[in-house]
Amino acid sequence: MELQNCLPMKTGDLNYQLNEINDPQDILNNTQGWNPMPSHDIMVPVPIKMQPSLGILDPNNLQINTSCPHPNVIHTSPQTPNIVSFENNAPINTYIEPDLPPEILQQGWNKFWSKRENRPYFWNRLTGESLWEFPPLRQFDVTSDPLGITNDGHHSEINPILMKKRPAEEIVMGPATKKMILIGPWELEIPTNVIIYERAPSTLSQPHPDIESYRGHLVSKLRQCYQELCQSRENINAPRESFNRWLIERKVIDTGSDPLLPSQCFPEVSLRMYNEIMDDIPLKVLTPKYTADARKQLSIYAEAAKNLIESRNTMQESRKVVKWNTEDTLQWLRKTVGATYSDFQERLNHLKAQCQPHIARTVKDSVEGICTKVYHLSVDYARKIKDKNKELLMAQGITEMSPAPAVLTLHKVWCYPVQFITPAPRLPPVEYMADKEQTYVRFNGERLLINTVYLQKLEQLYRYSCFEDKKMENFMARVWCLLKRYNSYYVNISDTQVSLPVSILESLHKNFGVTFECFASPLNCYFRQYCSAFPDTDAYFGSRGSILDLNAVSGSFVVNPPMKCDELIEAALNHIDRLLTESNEPLSFVVMLTDSESSFVKKLDSSLYKRRQVVVPAYEHFYRHGFQYNIPKSEVNIRSPTSTLVVWLQNNAGCQRWCPSEDRVEALLEAFRPVRERDRDRQELLSPTPNPLLGPQPLPV
In the chain, % of residues over pLDDT 90: 58
Q: Compare 242 and 26 and report the one with higher pLDDT.
A: 242
Check the CA dihedral 505-506-512-515 and report its sign. positive
Q: What is the mean pLDDT of residues 550-554?
A: 96
* Pairing of the two strands 446-451 and 438-443: antiparallel
83 and 221 belong to one structural domain: no
218 and 293 belong to one structural domain: yes
Contact 430, 444 (CB under 8 A): no
- 78 located within any domain: yes
Q: Where are the alpha helices (DSSP H) in 583-661?
A: 601-605, 652-657
Which residues, other chains included, contact 155 with Cβ-Cβ below 8 Å and sequence gap of 6+?
Answer: 139
HSE, CB side, 13 Å, CA atoms: give it for residue 23. Answer: 4
- 260 located within any domain: yes
Number of CB atoms found within 10 A of residue 80's CB = 7
Contact 522, 461 (CB under 8 A): yes
Q: What is the pLDDT of residues 584-615, one digit of tens each?
A: 999 999 999 987 666 788 889 889 999 999 99
Question: Three-state SS for 361?
Answer: helix
**Number of structural domains in the chain:** 3
Report which of 160, 260, 649 is spatially closest to residue 487, judged by C-alpha positions: 260
Query: Where is the domain boundary, 376, 394, 412?
Result: 394
CA distances from 227 to 242, 263, 284, 366, 623 (A): 10, 20, 15, 14, 31
For residues 668 and 691, give the distance between their C-alpha atoms in angstroms, rounded to a whole number.
34
pLDDT, mean over the chain: 80
Q: What is the pLDDT of residues 397-421, one digit of tens each?
A: 998 766 656 556 688 999 999 999 9
For residues 310 and 320, give the distance between their C-alpha atoms in angstroms, rounded to a whole number.
10
Question: Three-state SS for 205?
Answer: coil
Position 492 scores a pLDDT of: 65
Position 524 scores a pLDDT of: 94
Q: Is the peptide bond before 428 cis (omega within 30 degrees of 0)?
A: no
Q: Where are the alpha helices (DSSP H) in 589-674?
A: 601-605, 652-657, 662-672
Q: What is the pLDDT of residues 280-315, one digit of tens each?
A: 999 999 999 999 999 999 999 999 999 999 999 999
164 and 309 belong to one structural domain: no
Q: Residue 227 class from Cβ within 10 Å (0-12 exposed, 13-18 middle, 19+ buried)?
A: middle
Q: What is the pLDDT of residues 156-212, one digit of tens each?
A: 443 444 444 444 434 444 444 456 678 889 999 999 999 999 998 999 999 999 999
The CATH number of the domain where 555 resides is what? 3.40.50
Query: Where is the domain boundary, 349, 365, 394?
Result: 394
- 602 located within any domain: yes
320 and 370 belong to one structural domain: yes
The long-range contacts involving 489-493, CB below 8 angstroms and separated by at least 24 positions, are 489/219, 489/244, 489/247, 489/260, 489/533, 490/244, 490/626, 490/627, 491/220, 491/223, 491/244, 492/240, 492/241, 492/244, 493/241, 493/244, 493/626
291 and 165 belong to one structural domain: no
pLDDT band at 626, cuts 50/70/90? confident
Position 186 scores a pLDDT of: 94
**Strand stretches in 604-685, DSSP E:** 610-616, 622-624, 637-639, 644-650
Q: Compare 350 and 99 and report the one with higher pLDDT.
A: 350
227 and 365 belong to one structural domain: yes
Query: Where is the domain boundary, 362, 394, 426?
Result: 394
173 and 253 belong to one structural domain: no
pTM for this model (two decimals): 0.72
**What type of residue is 627?**
F
162 and 259 belong to one structural domain: no
Q: Is the peptide bond before 267 cis (omega within 30 degrees of 0)?
A: yes
For residues 210 and 426, give the distance between their C-alpha atoms in angstroms, rounded to a whole number.
11
Q: What is the mean pLDDT of residues 346-368?
A: 95
159 and 22 belong to one structural domain: yes
- 187 located within any domain: no
Q: Compare 386 and 676 and report the one with higher pLDDT.
A: 386
**Strand stretches in 411-482, DSSP E:** 412-414, 431-435, 438-443, 446-451
- 191 located within any domain: no
pLDDT band at 120, cuts 50/70/90? confident
126 and 243 belong to one structural domain: no
Q: What is the pLDDT of residues 319-329, one digit of tens each?
A: 999 999 999 99
Contact 40, 63 (CB under 8 A): no
Q: What is the pLDDT of residues 26-49, one digit of tens each?
A: 444 444 444 444 443 333 333 333
Domain of 164 in residue numbering reads as 1-177
- 652 located within any domain: yes
150 and 240 belong to one structural domain: no
- 132 located within any domain: yes
For residues 623 and 609, give the distance between their C-alpha atoms in angstroms, rounded to a whole number.
27
For residues 291 and 341, give the distance between their C-alpha atoms in angstroms, rounded to a whole number.
5
Q: What is the mean pLDDT of residues 567-580?
A: 96
332 and 224 belong to one structural domain: yes
- 387 located within any domain: yes
For residues 98 and 125, give the distance between their C-alpha atoms in angstroms, rounded to a whole number.
15
